[in-house]
């Protein structure tokens, strides 16, 4: 019902925009150079071949490896330990206003000549939250009781997620500010799209690898099995 309602709202609003919003017919001289598809890709390859851009792309493609497991797996492991999915979904609600406010606050610190300083400063704290999340997963079965989980456990989870969001958005806003700052205004859209795409890839591929590695790296114990049994694979666990 939730998805159906917002899907309907999305369809109605976008249809209204399509029919009611008129384009400005006045010809405004374009500040940005426009090119065809072939020329745009040639331009992208010429940008990415620049030594500074290539080094930067390699850095942002690997900079989020340390956070991948904590970001991708924590929620799943909490559910595995018995935290209801509905409660985790509710805990995400207070994060929404925080996610709206944070970029407004952080942008003040990334507006200067060195926006990546904020990125560097936030990184060690975000790495430490990986340990904090591991502790939350370890702690879950210790505090669980018949009625579920105590309120103080949920309070610690919400606080941890809120502080984690601060480090996450500090890095996100800083990298966006840097990409905007270094992009050539003549080809700004192409330049920024390239850097932002690489930045998104830098966050997505480590999470995919982390999820793929969860099963082989998880230690499992078998109770009641005859003889030596490791349960290392899905088939063995069955």
Band (94; pLDDT cuts 50, 70, 90):
confident
Is 227 part of any domain?
no
Q: Cβ atoms within 10 A of the Cβ of 26, count?
A: 5
Is 159 part of any domain?
yes
Structure token pair of residue 173:
């806003």
pLDDT per residue over 200-221, tens digit each? 999 999 999 999 998 888 877 7
pLDDT of res. 188: 67
Nearest to 194 by CA among 180, 208, 207: 180
As beta bridge partners, residue 108 has none
pLDDT of res. 16: 95
User: 83, 74 in Cβ contact below 8 A?
Assistant: no
Is 13 part of any domain?
no
Residue 225 predicted with pLDDT over 80:
no
Ordered DSSP codes for 19-51: HHPPPP-S----SSPP--HHHHHHHHHHHHTSH
**72: Cα separation from own chain's centroid:** 9
Is 28 part of any domain?
no
Structure token pair of residue 64:
């989020």
Interatomic CA distance for residues 68 and 74, integer angstroms? 10
| The model's pTM | 0.77
Higher pLDDT, 181 or 147: 181
Is 33 part of any domain?
no
Is 161 part of any domain?
yes
Interatomic CA distance for residues 207 and 70, integer angstroms? 9
pLDDT per residue over 2-55, tens digit each? 999 999 999 999 999 999 988 777 665 555 555 677 887 888 888 888 899 899
Higher pLDDT, 28 or 149: 149
| Total domains present in the chain | 1
Most confident of 29-33, 75-79, 111-115: 75-79
pLDDT of res. 49: 87
Domain that holds residue 134: 39-211
Is 230 part of any domain?
no
Is 25 part of any domain?
no
- Region 168-186 average pLDDT: 88
* Backbone phi and psi for residue 145, each to the nearest 5 degrees, phi listed first: -135, -175
């Amino acid at each position: 019902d939730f998805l159906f309602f917002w899907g309907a709202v999305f369809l109605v609003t976008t249809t209204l925009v399509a029919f009611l919003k008129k384009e400005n017919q006045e010809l405004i001289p374009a500040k940005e150079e426009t090119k065809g598809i072939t020329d745009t890709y040639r331009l992208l390859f010429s940008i990415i071949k620049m030594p500074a851009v290539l080094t930067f792309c390699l850095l942002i493609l690997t900079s989020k490896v340390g956070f991948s497991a904590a970001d991708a797996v924590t929620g799943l492991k909490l559910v595995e330990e018995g935290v209801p999915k509905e409660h985790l979904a509710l805990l995400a609600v207070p994060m929404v206003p925080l996610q709206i406010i944070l970029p407004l606050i952080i942008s003040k610190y990334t507006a200067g000549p060195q926006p990546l300083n904020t990125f560097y400063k936030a990184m060690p704290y975000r790495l430490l939250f990986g340990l904090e999340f591991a502790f939350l997963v370890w702690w879950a079965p210790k505090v669980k009781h018949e009625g579920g989980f105590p309120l103080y456990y949920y309070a610690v989870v919400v606080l941890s997620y809120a502080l984690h969001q601060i480090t996450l958005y500090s890095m996100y806003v800083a990298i966006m500010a840097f990409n905007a700052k270094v992009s050539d205004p003549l080809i700004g859209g192409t330049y920024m799209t390239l850097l932002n795409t690489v930045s998104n890839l830098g966050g997505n591929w480590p999470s995919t690898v982390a999820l793929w590695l969860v099963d082989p790296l998880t230690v499992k114990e078998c109770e009641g099995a005859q003889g030596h049994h490791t349960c290392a694979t899905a088939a063995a666990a069955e």
